[in-house]
Amino acid sequence: MRLSQMLVPTTRETPAEAELVSHQLMLRAGLIRRLGSGLYTWMPMGLRVLQKITAIVREEMNRAGAQEVLMPSVHPAELWQASGRWEQMGSLMLRLKDRHKRDFCYGPTHEEVVTYHVKQDVRSWKQLPLNLYQIQTKFRDEIRPRFGLMRAREFIMKDAYSFHMDSADLAREYAGMRVAYQRIFDRLGVDYRIVQADTGDIGGTASEEFHVVAGAGEDLLAVSDGSDFAANIEAAACGTTLTRPEASQEAQDVATPGRSTCAAVAELLAIPLEQALKLVVVEGSDGNLVALALRGDHELNEIKAERHPAVAAPLQLAEGARIQSVFGCEPGFLGVRNCPVPVIADHAAAVLADFVCGANRHDFHTTGVNWGRDCPEPAVADLRNIAEGDPSPDGQGRIRFLRGIEVGHIFQLGDKYARAMELTVLDADGASVTPQMGCYGIGVSRIAAAVVEQCHDEQGIRWPQAIAPFALVICPIGMDRSEAVREAAERLYADAQAAGVEVLLDDRGLRPGVMFADSELLGIPHRVVIGDKALADDQYEYRHRSDSEAKRISSDHAALLDRIRAG
Ligand code: ATP
Ligand code: MG
């Protein structure tokens, strides 16, 4: 392409609306433009990147034996009512009515739709297994759309759904998809991790996420320094290998005026934070309150908490006024002695002895508290986030945290949707069987942003060559003045095209500084500068986007283009 003919609205200024570097750079490089909250247009240069990502995803899905389909983005409400998710999706789902006042939604995902089609057309075990995928636009009315394409409302997903006669066959397909995903992310050229993921309400079957490692990632990943254990902290199980020491102190109330946090109390009493117990009071599943007890240095994991049968889902913190009326005291001074509500303690909190907690009395805490003696033994559960330095759940090494951007998710769903939508097929003996399902998502548009987040420097984007909008940019200096420069540039441009190298010719006639700045901002891997001086020695100036300096190279096109094709 000739740059003079492309709409590439680059800017020098950092857009105020963009917090993340990837968002700033994608706007500055003119790859995307905002239309509304969480809505973006792919401009010509950006679309080239998106199409490269899409092509890699499609090739690897096809290689793995999945079949491409394309389902509508607008879905009749009945399908979602049948699965129970019309209600459950809440305001994440954009709903609309047609001219007959019938309800529809804009699809946030496609389990219902694909299951509907399989139910229509698949009757026999002979038609399974089946893996159907699409690369398609989703709409989710996210509470906080932000970071550009990273958390958009309209975005592009590759979603695949597989159907199997039994769970062993589902496990086989899941393993195959995992390999396909590894091939995809290897080819994209990014640093990524596969982590154990939360399985949501669906149950204990396998689920893993693929994360691009980046400091700005929204997800915390717990990885072991002594094994390949890696989990999203949402999902990382934590027990304890410790046992509770003997009680050695008497329980005693002490004045702690104005000290309503564990940290403040620990400081006042000069005790380690882990000897303080905090209570988080939440709504219980029976309509009464429940107190969750955690060590002062630990954090509540909301997903684990709301999965406890005694706790209401979604998790709801008790309101201050309700706590005041039930405990006779405000939050900040709550404790387990004479606690008016049932207590569930995290494993690590349940092995404390002689701990400090609120006295259920304004401005007082109790020291030397012991479970079983000063209060009933609590129910015990895994309620907390794993912490850095904790032993790895697989027993090897210690946990450290990484930040990641979720770009893929693979999931063994079991028969949840097939059952809800009454999908059955006949097995070899003519008996009716509910198929097992898997689903496999990739955030295609999010990948573009995640790659920029990982691959950039002060000057701009550094696309891995596999998804760069162009492999080579030619910057002729003084093209309008020098016939020799023009002729060489045109010849390299033509040779590159003939050699199948995707090439951009900067024929805008701008100053070298502007051309260089744009080529660096756009992140094109190879740059050739053609100027009169070097040309007199039959040379060009060459710089790879990751080189610190340009160097002179011979103007032998064949050798140059071979090198560029090789990556
Ligand atoms: P998240 O936890 O980031 O909200 P999710 O777990 O709800 O994502 P899935 O339902 O697993 O998302 O969707 C599959 C993939 O689609 C995700 O792994 C992610 O890469 C991408 N994705 C999800 N939501 C968005 C969004 N709002 N904008 C861009 N990509 C998204
Ligand atoms: Mg997910």
> pLDDT (tens digit, 9 = 90+) per residue, 312-332?
999 999 999 999 999 999 999
Give 204's pLDDT tier (boundaries 50, 70, 90): very low
DSSP string, 165-207: SSHHHHHHHHHHHHHHHHHHHHHHT--EEEEE---GGG-SS-E
Burial class (CB in 10 A: 0-12, 13-18, 19+), 170: buried
pLDDT at 287: 94
What is the Cα Rg of the chain in Å? Answer: 29
Give 239's pLDDT tier (boundaries 50, 70, 90): confident
Query: Ligand 1 atom closest to Cα of 218?
Result: 3
For tokens 């003997």, name the residue: 246
Distance 208 CA to ligand 2 centre (A): 9
195: nearest Cα among 213, 172, 176, 211: 211
Query: Ligand 1 atom closest to Cα of 441?
Result: 14
The chain-wide mean pLDDT, for the chain, equals 96
What is the Cα 313 distance to its own chain's centre?
Answer: 23
pLDDT at 538: 95
pLDDT at 57: 98
Give 242's pLDDT tier (boundaries 50, 70, 90): confident
pLDDT at 117: 98
Distance 523 CA to ligand 1 centre (A): 26
Determine how many CB atoms are found less than 10 A away from the CB of residue 149: 28
Ligand nearest to the CA of 407: 1
CA angle 450-455-458, nearest 5°?
Answer: 120
pLDDT at 184: 98
| Secondary structure tally for the chain: helices H, strands E | 16, 30
384: nearest Cα among 355, 344, 352, 411: 344
29: nearest Cα among 388, 396, 373, 519: 519
For tokens 């020491």, name the residue: 245
Inter-residue contact 38 to 25 (CB < 8 Å):
no
For tokens 């140059």, name the residue: 560
Distance 289 CA to ligand 2 centre (A): 31
For tokens 């079949």, name the residue: 67
Q: Mean pLDDT across the stretch 271-276?
A: 97
258: nearest Cα among 270, 243, 244, 268: 268
Determine how many CB atoms are found less than 10 A away from the CB of residue 340: 12
Q: What is the pTM of this model?
A: 0.92
64: nearest Cα among 167, 174, 147: 174
- pLDDT above 90 covers what percent of the chain? 96
Q: Mean pLDDT across the stretch 168-188?
A: 97
The type of residue at 210 is: F
Question: 203 versus 405: which is more confidently predicted?
Answer: 405
Query: What is the tens place of the pLDDT at every residue in 81-108?
Result: 999 999 999 999 999 999 999 999 999 9
Query: What is the tens place of the pLDDT at every residue in 334-363?
Result: 999 999 999 999 999 999 999 999 999 999
For tokens 């592009």, name the residue: 156
Residue 248 is classified by DSSP as: -
Query: Ligand 1 atom closest to Cα of 152?
Result: 28
pLDDT at 341: 97
Query: Ligand 1 atom closest to Cα of 209?
Result: 18
Give the whole-angstrom CA distance, residue 250 versus residue 354: 8
Of the given ranges (16-20, 266-270, 465-469), which has the lowest mean pLDDT? 16-20
User: What are the b/e assignments for 437-465, b being 16+ CB within 10 Å?
Assistant: bbbbbbbbbbbbbbbbbbbbeeebbbbbb
464: nearest Cα among 475, 443, 442, 448: 448
Query: Ligand 1 atom closest to Cα of 210?
Result: 18
Residue 328 is classified by DSSP as: S
What is the Cα 410 distance to its own chain's centre?
Answer: 12
pLDDT at 17: 87
Of 446, 452, 453, best ligand 1 pocket probe by most atoms within 8 Å of the beta carbon: 446
Distance 410 CA to ligand 2 centre (A): 8
User: What are the b/e assignments for 87-102, b being 16+ CB within 10 Å?
Assistant: eebeeebbeeeeeeee
Give the whole-angstrom CA distance, residue 238 versus residue 300: 12
Residue nearest to atom 14 of ligand 1 (CA): 441
Query: What is the tens place of the pLDDT at every residue in 368-383?
Result: 999 999 999 999 999 9
SS3 state of residue 149: helix
Query: Is 205 a residue whose pLDDT tops 80?
Result: no
**How many residues would you count in the chain?**
567
Query: What is the tens place of the pLDDT at every residue in 139-156?
Result: 999 999 999 999 999 999
What are the pocket residues of ligand 1 if the criterion is a CB atom closer than 6 Å to any ligand atom?
109, 140, 142, 151-152, 155, 157, 406-409, 441, 443, 445-446
Residue nearest to atom 15 of ligand 1 (CA): 443
Query: What is the tens place of the pLDDT at every residue in 54-74?
Result: 999 999 999 999 999 999 999
Q: Mean pLDDT across the stretch 111-132?
A: 97
Inter-residue contact 290 to 379 (CB < 8 Å):
no
Residue 301 is encoded by which pair of tokens?
A: 């994991």
